[in-house]
Every structure is written in C-alpha cells, then in structure tokens.
Structure 1
Amino acid sequence: MIKIVEGEYIKTLTDGNLEDLVKELDRGYILVMLKENNKLHEGYIFVEDGEIIGYYYTDNLMEEVFGTEGKVKVLELLNKENKVIEIYKYNKDKLNLMKWLCPEIFVKKDDKNKKEKSDHKEEKYIQTKITIPLGNFIAANVRDFEKYLEENKYILIYVYRKVNNNFETGYVIYYGNKPLAAAYESKNGVLFGKEACYKIGSLLNDENSVIEVYEYDEKKVNVLLEEYPNMKIDNELKEDVIEEKTDNVESISLSYEENVDISREELLKKLGISEPDDSWIEAVIEDLIKPNNEELQELKEIIEKEMIEKIKNIDGVEDIKPEINLKWENGRYLIYGDINVKRKKILGIIKKNVDPSLIKFEIDNVIKKHLAKYTSRISINIE
C-alpha cells in the first residue's frame, strides 16, 4: 500500500464543494474518509498552486487506485452523505518527496492540461430540462438490472440518487443487451448519449442510488429520439432496431420503369395525403404515450404504497389511508383524492401535532418521482 507523506493538519469538514475545497489550499492534500461496509475508504486529492495534480483512493484492505480511476473513486466518496473531510498543508519539500515516492499518483502539467480539455469536452452540459416518459413499470429498488434485459425487447433503466439535497437522474434505453439511448440530468444541466453514460455508470454503481426498470417499445423509442435526438448512443443504429426518420427528402422515384422524379409535395397531393401538421403530430404522440387503464391502476397502487411508507415515517403519524384516483386527461396525469392521516394518541390524548406541510412534501416527492406531467388535487385530512 502507498504511504502518504503526512502534511500539517488545517481543519475538518463534513461537506464541501470540490472547487471550494481546492481554494483552501495552495499546496497539500484533501483527505476524504468514509466508513462503509466495515471498510475505511480514503480518497486523497493533491493540490499544487491552487490546482489539482493527482488523485489516490484506497479501502485500506485490497484496493488502491490512482489516475482516472482514482479520480472517479475519490469523487464518489466526496458525494457521499456521511463522509469526513480533512485538509492538510504541505511545504515544497514534502510535496516533492511525495512526488518522488509515488510518481504514479501525479499528473504532469502537459498531461493535466490535455485531460482537463478532454474532461471539459466529455461533460458539456446543456442547460435545459428533460421529460422522459417511464413506460410500463416492471421493478423497483433493483441492483442487478441486467437480468431484465431480454432479446428483442426494449427496456428503460431509470436511476437516481440524492446528493447534498440535489437529485441526479439517469435514463438508459436498452434493446436486448445493447444500450440505444441515454440521458443524465443534474443541477449542472443535461448530458446526452455517450457523454451521459459515464455519469450514469457512476449512479448505477452507487449503493445509495435507486434503480427502477420499465418496459418500452419501438414507437416510444422513436418518439423519444425525435424529441431528444442527441440521446442516441450510436449514430449508426441498425434499421431493424430504430427506424431512422428524416424530413429533408426532396424527391422520390415513383417506379423504376417510369424513371420520373416527383417532389414530396406533389407526391402527397397525388396520393391524397395531407401534409402532417402540429395537431397531427401531437395526436400521434398522445396515442403513443397514453397509458391504458391497467397501467393507470398499477401506477396508482405503486404511488399509494410509497406514500404510506414515506408518511408513516413522519413523527407523530400512527396510520395513513390514501384514497386517490389517477386518470389521463389532455396529455397529462390527473391525480386527485384524499390522504387521511391518523395521529398517534396516548390514553386518547394526541401525542404530537403533525405538520401538514411535511405530509405535502412527501406526497409531492412521490408524485414527481413517477409522473412527468400531472395535475394534483389531493386533500390532506388529519385526524
């Protein structure tokens, strides 16, 4: 195992943004520690002249990594909730000694500049919001999502986690074992396609992430890729997997024998077909994403179950009985009804008041998790 040259202790923190932490140092290292699964995980971020020059990670048992892999491991530790951060200062001699003892940890100046440019290119966030329909629910809270991937079947993997009160979400669509499209969203913005895969991989490997599996179909994939074409992981997908569509066809041959070209507009007129307009496109999309009664009932039961689990954890709540309905109207979900909450009592006396805003917060979080576009008309009744 690599022996770290100990620096001069500066201070201890329980949280911090990487950029802000680096500003604390001119020369030294940031130590991120986390005790998890009976292991002490340690991540080191080395700094010189206010810039990061190396990463090192160890679990103090068998694993130790540096370079790109070390960076991934250290940044994962930094995103954990119950970590401890310590900052240490080096003088020039100690840093040079560390570089001499463990040169593999440190990045040369030229290599570092190249890598920063590469990283910047890989994480070119788009400042937008995305709405991804989740499809038919299959399973939740899974770790081995690969077992749900089947030949000739479309599957959507939805993964999310909460880090420092901010959510990260990832979407990957598979056809069989092949990923077709991906999107990642965080407070920094949105990444699509291959750029999203690296971030989603980190989510999938995090034990604190929640992974859900949904069934998809070819029509939904095509509609989604029309809305977000950059989600494609491979720009040369086979035609039997995703049908490519284009609007820039200017002419089409009627037959080989006639050898006559006709414009798109003339052909549509000749065949008696009206030019598709916005209302026609909206109707097609509505037909594709509209859930059936069975799907609505299944989704309603999932939402009710999660509401019960979340609200029962609120201090002072003894029982909860949701009586909600879920419908699809005008291209969005309508969820309405009552949430009946029973407070805890001792000898007939209410033990503690329950804040309705806490209940509403949990209700809203559950709904947002499962419904993209919706109208909520839910009443909270506290007994």
Structure 2
Amino acid sequence: MIKIVEGEFVSKFNEKIEFDNLIKAVSLGYIAVFSKENNRIKEGYLFISENKIIGVYIKDDKEYFGDVEKFKEFYKNLKGNILIEVYKYNKDKMNLMKWLYPQIFKVKEEKAKQEKKKEEERKKRKVKLKLGKLISEEKEFEKFLGEGYYLIHICKEIKDSFEQGYLIFKNKSLVGAIYENNFGIIFKENAKNYIDNLIRDSGSRVKIFKLSEEEFNKIFDLYPDAKLEIVEIREEAEEELKETFEELSREELLKKLGIKEPDEEWVEQIIEDIFRPTSEELVELQNQIREDIYNYLMSNENIEKAIVDVKVDWDKEYIIDINVQVSPKKILGFIKKDIPIDKIKYDINNKVRNIVSTGKIRINAKIV
C-alpha cells in the first residue's frame, strides 16, 4: 500500500484547472487530485521538481506508476466532485519518497517526447559514416562479398538504448571494425568481439553496402583507429613463391627446406609452450588488472568503497575472473546517486581488453 509522505499545505482548488498550470503550482512537492464518482474515490498524485514531473501515482480501478500520459487521461476524464491540493516538500522528504517508492519516480515520458529524445540520441552518436550503395539486408552477409570494398552495418535498438557495429571489408578480407553503444565507442579486435555477439542477437539487423574506393578511404581518414592489423603478402612475392614451389609435393618441399614432418600434437605443444605465461607473469597481470579496476571505481564520485578480487588462470588462453563489490555514497542516509552496474561491467571489460586482447573474461559486480 502506498502512503504518501505528507508535505506542507500550499493551496487547493475545487475544480479542474489547465494541466500546464497544474504542474506550475509548486516548484518542489506534489499535487494530489481527488474525485468522487458513484461513491467511489479516485486519487492521483503528481510529484514535481523545478516545475517538472518527476513522479506519478494513480489509484483508480487499479494502481499506475510513473505514467504521465495515463495521468493526463485520468485527469481529463475526472467527473463529479473534484478536489485538488498542493503540498510543498523539502529535499529530504522528496528523497524519502524516492527511497520508499522508487516505482513512482520511474517516469514514462509522453510518446512525442520519447520520439524527440530518441531522435536527439541518434544525432548525438559519434559514428557517422556514408554507407554507400545498399546491396541487401540479411545476416548471412559473407556470400555478398567479392572484389572491391564493402561495409556491413549491424544495429539494434531497444527503448532508449542502442548498439551498432561496422565491419569494413576489402576484397573479402576484414580490414576494419567499429562498435558503438550508449556508453561509448571501441575499435579493432575488441569491437569485432562485440559485433560478433550483436550479429548473433535475434533483435539485430544487418545491412550490406558496396563502397567506392573513395568512400572506403574516407572511413579510415575519419576513424584511423578502426584499422585492423593485417599482414599482406605482396603479389609479386606471392607469385615468386608459387613459381618456386608449384612443382614440388608437400614431402619434397619439406625435404628441400630441411623441415621434419610435424604431427598435430607436436604443433599444438609448440604453440602452447610459446604462448603459455609463467606463474610470475600471471601474478603480475592479476595485480595490474586489480589495480586498474580499483582506480577506475574509486574515480567515480558516487562510489564510497570498492572491493576488487581478480583471479587469472591459463588454459590454452587467459581465463580472468573478476568479482567487484561497490558501496554507493550516501547523503543524510540516502544514496547520493544510483550506480549503473551494467556500465561498470562494460567499462571493466573494456579496461581488461586493453590489457589482454584475447581470452575469457567473467565479471561479477554488485552493489552492497
């Protein structure tokens, strides 16, 4: 049951007034609207800060929370005896209401404002590319690649969030990658990892574009960090190797080069020995990751305390387990500002990927 924290009475009205004037009745507080129809009481509450709606609660045939449009409909349809009361809050009382009933303050904006906000967010996106000529729109894009330049655009939008990625191809070879979401933009191998997951997401859309050479070069002029490190063999050198060895069988070629025929187990062991880090290197990496994460967390003005536990193992690749606990700062016993745990995990993942580009990263983060 919702129990409104009582404020200081300011004024009352015995009939409806214009909605725009209603929300100007108090700068910090709430407006209570009552109506009696057929011996039934209807109640509605608007919570106001700086003459803006920050919370909504309606008790009619059922309870509604945070829905501005529903309140407008409720207010428009009120009949019978009407009473409007205006109450003033101080900041402590408003914070108490937010703490007691957070669902009231998760305000759903009007559709027009939502669309406007969505459009503004689109305009704010950092990655803006001339996409070229659209060839097709499907996830199996590899079959459309050929000689020339291609741009694959992958995107997903849910409510106020978005993800998008760009894969840039030259002659069927991937040469660049860009990934962006609400939190920022990343490039190269890290970007490709996110894009691979985005392509597999059932809610994403994939478009294939053919680029001119000018459009292709323009992408790397704008985003030089997007270029993947690719070792290209010069055509003339490739042709020279082909002419030298085209007549030789595999066995003859190995004999000519003085190389013993390796088996798969031998090759795998050699690779494992080359890349396996020492125990000292694992400890050093573990300490570096822990320190970087801790410094990042404590640089957040809304975090009072952070505990970071990192474990780094090796099993043919790095396996990094990260456990993070953060305590938010409080003012007068109230949390100063909510900590977005998904963004914390996203940033930690990027920080670790800047240190270790491959391997598994498992992150567990919680607020205590």
Q: TM bucket by the smaller chain?
A: 0.3 to 0.5
Superposition TM-score, scaled by structure 1 size:
0.35
Q: Which has the larger radius of gyration?
A: 2
Superposition TM-score, scaled by structure 2 size:
0.36
